[in-house]
Structure 1
Amino acid sequence: MRPAERLFRIIRILRTANGALTASQIAQKLEVSKRSIYRDMAHLIGSGAPIDSEPGVGFMLRDEFDLPPLSFTFEQLEALALGAKTLALIADDDLSTAAKEALEKIRDAVPERHKAKLDAPHLMVVPPKGIEMPTKTLRRLRRAIDENLVLKISYRALDGGQTSREVYPLALTNFGPKWLLTAWCTVRKDFRDFRVDRIDQLSDLRRKFVPTNGQQLSDYLKRYST
């Protein structure tokens, strides 16, 4: 779990808690160490988050921490709920959990008479049958895209050939049961799309790339939209 995602989840846990929570309780919910929670709390409090802490009692979020009120039509909420249900089935573990949490927030926000509609059969999402999503690889690819990390991949082509590529990861696209990685390939000196389920090995080369003209996702999209 990335640090930014953990901070968000700590805020959500505090918002839904009935009273103060200890570092041990929060650490147990997130499956991390107490030391990590204390460090995260120091960061949140230092950043201005309205969190009260008392030794021996725990941490509590003050009431003023909230998003500005947003207004959605029920159809807009249906769309958001359907998107969250889909991500919960096809994404990596972290994004799937975030989608489930978002769906619960949507359900909590609507009147009681609408809750059943959000769970109605016409909004069900059926998981791809017999297909296991490459969740661990997806999580690593998302992190690499977010942080502009250069990757080395071992890729199994459709003809069975194995190639090794150094790539600049740019985007992930879902096509039903399949995920596609769009990247700049330093070997081909061009954009390439790789099926994530055919990436056999993935290595973080521990260095970052700087997006330059001609190698950015916007360049890729312009090429294939004209």
Structure 2
Amino acid sequence: MRRAERLFRLVNEMRTRGVSRANELAEHLEVSVSTIYRDIAHLQASGMPIEGEAGVGYLLRPGFDLPNTTFTHDQIDALAVGLAFVESTGDPALMSAAREVRAKIQAGLPAPEERKLADAPYYSLQSKNSAPADVGILREAIRTQQVVEITYTNAGGSTSTRRLRPLVIWNLTDGWMFSAWCELRQDFRTFRFDRIAELTVTGEHFIADEDTSLTAFMEREGCEEQV
């Protein structure tokens, strides 16, 4: 690991802790304790607001932050992979937003001509499933926590009307789906977009509790059968 990257990670780790002991920081960064002592001394000499001393612990004073555009090479790769995935979703609004984010971050990087967000050694597989027309509407409903009402045909051919609290959208190899808390079933359910005859945002807002939230759903993800 280059020293500049190690220093960045050291400061970032101290931001997430209270008092940091050198041996704990050394274990996290996989370096020696003496290296941590030298790095902290260097940061203090550079004006970093770090208080404390060897054998006692160190504290990065609250209020200090790193520039938003200071990224390690691995973090740049992570951004590039994430943006490449978003650009392959088939959702026109998200694809355009991802390209704009890429341009903004790229312009703010130090020496942007030397390290481009498009240069990550990873590629996102392109989805063959174009985003459904209603996906943008549903994303807005999830963001604003609005109840939606759908007319839906299940795998057995039965049609029903459901009031749902939408939680998450899935772009899978066999199609687009979304998961929600179903007020009719009083449980989580996952629905295929291609079986929705009609989708309406009701304008009614909901507040997810610990039993109906996305966190609760993800804890059960993989246990529920598809509708």
Kindly indicate whether the alpha-carbon contact (under 8 Å) linking 1:90 and 1:96 is maintained by their aligned counterparts in 2: yes
Structure 1 residues 114 and 186, CA gap change in structure 2 (3 angstroms)? same
1:185 counterpart (162, 182, 186): 182
Long gaps (5+) in structure 1 = 1-66
1:165 counterpart (143, 162, 165): 162
Structure 1 residues 88 and 149, CA gap change in structure 2 (3 angstroms)? same
Residue 113 of structure 1 aligns to a residue whose secondary structure is: coil
Residue 140 of structure 2 aligns to a residue whose secondary structure is: helix
Partner of 1:112: 113
Kindly indicate whether the alpha-carbon contact (under 8 Å) linking 1:91 and 1:138 is maintained by their aligned counterparts in 2: no
Kindly indicate whether the alpha-carbon contact (under 8 Å) linking 2:89 and 2:130 is maintained by their aligned counterparts in 1: no
Q: Give the AA of the match of 2:220.
A: R
- Equivalents in 2 of 1:177, 1:96: separation in Å? 20
Question: Does 2:150 correspond to 1:149?
Answer: no
RMSD of Structure 2 on Structure 1 (CA): 2.7
Aligned residues: 156
Residue 197 of structure 1 aligns to a residue whose secondary structure is: helix
Deviation of 1:176 (Å): 4.5
Kindly indicate whether the alpha-carbon contact (under 8 Å) linking 2:91 and 2:130 is maintained by their aligned counterparts in 1: no
Partner of 1:98: 97
User: How much identity, in percent, do the aligned residues show?
Assistant: 33
User: 1:56-100: per-residue Cα shift (whole Å, max 9, x none)?
Assistant: xxxxxxxxxxx9443211221122112112112215322221111
Structure 1 residues 73 and 185, CA gap change in structure 2 (3 angstroms)? same
Q: Give the AA of the match of 1:79.
A: A
Tell me the TM-score normalised to structure 1 length: 0.59
- Equivalents in 2 of 1:225, 1:201: separation in Å? 27
Tell me the TM-score normalised to structure 2 length: 0.59
Structure 1 residues 73 and 212, CA gap change in structure 2 (3 angstroms)? closer
User: 1:141-197: per-residue Cα shift (whole Å, max 9, x none)?
Assistant: 111111111111122323333322111112223334633311111111111011233
